């Protein structure tokens, strides 16, 4: 457990060094978050007033609600994948010894926009199918569906860098991602803690500490303005942590791709750390 957390912390530090060298990489998750906010407003408000929002989440979802919901998913995925492709494209330039700009990242994403849109459609379709199946299953059935979802997430882990670097079609990018993982780490893969362990623990500690201070302030009858200020600061810290976490994840994904393709992690990442990005499950009894 502690060894895995130590490895995760080293990955965070390596990704952080790249971010420190190229702080403009933070622009991509910021723009993505702002765009997603307006996309949500553009869909959710009309859906709520038209009744499609309730229909979408009802047991007998209407066709209209499903179509609008699917369109919402596609636009969301397009925004997210576009920003991630730009981020990974810029990060790859840095990992290969260059000095990327925001413009460089955007150019990478724009060049592959058609493929990004195609993959967004595929990801939205798979996401909606898994969600629907999970809602209609209980117990073992839901567990099996969750395993299918985990397998999909693992197989598509390197799709974004494949899109950014190799410019393959969506289906070819999914196949290439799975092949790289299988070739580099073996057929029986199990996700490691990765960056999620450290970032998840960091979020938990900040929420625990911040929430505890706010509760203590309420018990001590601090002025309302002080409690509101504290709550706003806590939210701001969590938002900033989320943006940094997204950027570090994009950098880390680029490093994993570089290692899978070339067998080298470059000057920013220790090859052993990236090699342990995934572990192979041994057959029972070994």
For residue 59, the SS3 value is coil
pLDDT > 90: what percent of the chain? 45
Alpha-carbon gap, residue 27 to 250, rounded angstroms: 12
Q: 1: exposed, middle or buried (C-beta count within 10 Å: 0-12, 13-18, 19+)?
A: exposed
pTM of this structure? 0.85
- Alpha-carbon distances of 238 from 13, 166, 209, 232, rounded to whole Å: 19, 34, 12, 10
Give the model confidence (pLDDT) of 3-56 as tens digits: 566 777 788 888 889 999 899 999 999 999 999 999 888 877 766 666 555 555
Give the model confidence (pLDDT) of 144-195 as tens digits: 777 788 888 888 999 999 999 999 999 999 999 999 988 888 755 555 556 7
Question: Torsion angle of alpha carbons 132, 133, 139, 141, nearest 10°?
Answer: -170
Asked if pLDDT for residue 139 goes beyond 80, the answer is: no
User: Which of 11, 125, 33 has the alpha carbon at shortest distance from 83?
Assistant: 33
In this prediction, residue 283 carries a pLDDT of 46
For residue 1, the SS3 value is coil
Residue with tokens 């092949």: 179
Residue 137 or residue 69, greater confidence? 69
Give the model confidence (pLDDT) of 122-136 as tens digits: 999 998 888 877 766
In this prediction, residue 60 carries a pLDDT of 52
Mean pLDDT of 81-110: 93
Residue 36 or residue 271, greater confidence? 36
Is the Cα torsion angle 56, 62, 65, 71 positive or negative in sign? positive
Mean pLDDT of 68-88: 92
Mean pLDDT of 257-280: 80
Mean pLDDT of 210-216: 92
The first and second tokens of residue 117, run together, are 């849109």
Please report how the helices 63-95 and 224-262 are oriented relative to each other, as an axis angle in degrees rounded to 10: 70
In this prediction, residue 32 carries a pLDDT of 94
In this prediction, residue 55 carries a pLDDT of 56
In this prediction, residue 189 carries a pLDDT of 59
Residue 248 or residue 267, greater confidence? 248
What rounded mean pLDDT belongs to the chain? Answer: 83
In this prediction, residue 285 carries a pLDDT of 41
Confidence band for 1, pLDDT divided at 50, 70 and 90? low
Given a contact cutoff of 8 angstroms between Cβ atoms, the answer to whether 158 and 257 are in contact is yes
Alpha-helical segments (H) within the chain: 2-21, 27-50, 52-56, 63-95, 102-111, 113-135, 140-155, 159-166, 170-185, 194-219, 224-262, 271-275
In this prediction, residue 277 carries a pLDDT of 67
The first and second tokens of residue 199, run together, are 């970032």
Asked if pLDDT for residue 260 goes beyond 60, the answer is: yes
Neighbours of 213 (CB within 10 A): 15
The first and second tokens of residue 130, run together, are 């898994």
Given a contact cutoff of 8 angstroms between Cβ atoms, the answer to whether 181 and 157 are in contact is yes
In this prediction, residue 159 carries a pLDDT of 95
Asked if pLDDT for residue 65 goes beyond 70, the answer is: no
Alpha-carbon gap, residue 147 to 112, rounded angstroms: 30
User: Which of 28, 162, 142 has the alpha carbon at shortest distance from 82?
Assistant: 28
In this prediction, residue 78 carries a pLDDT of 96
């Amino acid at each position: 457990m502690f060894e895995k957390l130590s490895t995760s912390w080293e990955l965070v530090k390596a990704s952080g060094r790249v971010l420190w060298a190229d702080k403009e990489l933070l622009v991509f998750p910021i723009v993505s978050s702002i765009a997603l906010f307006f996309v949500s407003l553009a869909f959710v408000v009309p859906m709520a007033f038209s009744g499609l929002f309730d229909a979408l989440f009802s047991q007998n979802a209407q066709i209209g609600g499903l179509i609008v919901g699917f369109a919402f998913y596609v636009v969301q995925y397009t925004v997210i994948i576009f920003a991630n492709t730009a981020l990974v494209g810029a990060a790859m330039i840095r990992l290969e010894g260059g000095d990327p700009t925001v413009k460089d990242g955007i150019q990478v994403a724009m060049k592959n926009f058609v493929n990004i849109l195609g993959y967004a459609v595929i990801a939205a379709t798979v996401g909606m199918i898994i969600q629907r199946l999970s809602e209609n299953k209980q117990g073992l059935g839901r567990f099996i569906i969750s395993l299918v979802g985990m397998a999909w997430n693992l197989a598509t882990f390197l799709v974004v860098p494949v899109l950014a670097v190799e410019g393959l079609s969506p289906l070819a990018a999914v196949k290439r991602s799975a092949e790289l993982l299988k070739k580099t780490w073996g057929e029986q893969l199990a996700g490691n803690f990765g960056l999620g362990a450290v970032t998840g623990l960091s979020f938990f500690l900040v929420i625990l500490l911040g929430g505890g201070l706010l509760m203590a302030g309420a018990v001590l009858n601090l002025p309302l303005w002080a409690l509101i200020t504290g709550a706003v600061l806590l939210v701001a810290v969590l938002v900033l942590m989320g943006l940094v976490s997204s950027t570090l994840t994009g950098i880390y994904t680029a490093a994993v791709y570089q290692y899978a393709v070339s067998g080298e992690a470059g000057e920013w990442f220790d090859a052993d750390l990236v090699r342990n990005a995934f572990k192979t499950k041994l057959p029972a009894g070994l």
